[in-house]
Amino acid sequence: MSNIYDTAYELEKSLREVDVFKSLAVAYNEMTADGEASSLFKEFRDIQVNLQQKQMTGGEITEEDITNAQAIAEKASTNTIIQKMMEKEQQLSKMMEEINGIITKPLQELYSSLDK
């Protein structure tokens, strides 16, 4: 039997070669090459990370935090370069969810025995 970590590294290499990842990389490079889109995306990401950190640490998420997040998300969603990149990211995310389902199938099968 092969080393499971070797298999994981092979999966990582394969991920870099799929069209969906390559498309995301192209869209990301286009976004970073555009000053306005890059700045807007960084602001959007910073707000997301800040909210996630507050949520994970039990910090208070204020109404102002929510308003700021909604405003920057709306602004980012109207930028066609960011919009294109996020569409590619969603496609990759969907593929990774499917792969995760395959990887975790043994656990799902194991724990589903409780339902019998």
C-alpha–C-alpha distance, residues 49 and 47, integer Å: 6
C-alpha–C-alpha distance, residues 97 and 23, integer Å: 18
**What are the domain boundaries of the chain?**
4-115
What does pTM read for this prediction?
0.81
Number of alpha carbons in the 13 Å side-chain half-sphere of residue 41: 20
Q: Specify the pLDDT at position 48.
A: 93
Task: Assess whether pLDDT exceeds 60 at residue 1.
Answer: no
What kind and span of H or E run contains 3? none
Q: What percent of the chain has pLDDT over 90?
A: 94
Pick the CATH number of 4-115 from 3.65.10.10, 3.40.50.1450, 1.20.1500.10, 1.10.10.10: 1.20.1500.10
- Cβ–Cβ under 8 Å, residues 44 and 71: no
Residue-wise pLDDT for 76-85, tens only, equals 999 999 999 9
What is the pLDDT confidence band of residue 115, given thresholds at 50, 70 and 90?
Answer: confident
86-114 mean pLDDT: 95
Q: 37: Cβ–Cβ under 8 A, 6 or more apart, which residues? A: 30, 31, 79, 81, 82
Look up residue 78 and give its DSSP letter.
Answer: T
Look up residue 114 and give its DSSP letter.
Answer: G
Residue-wise pLDDT for 3-41, tens only, equals 999 999 999 999 999 999 999 999 999 999 999 999 999
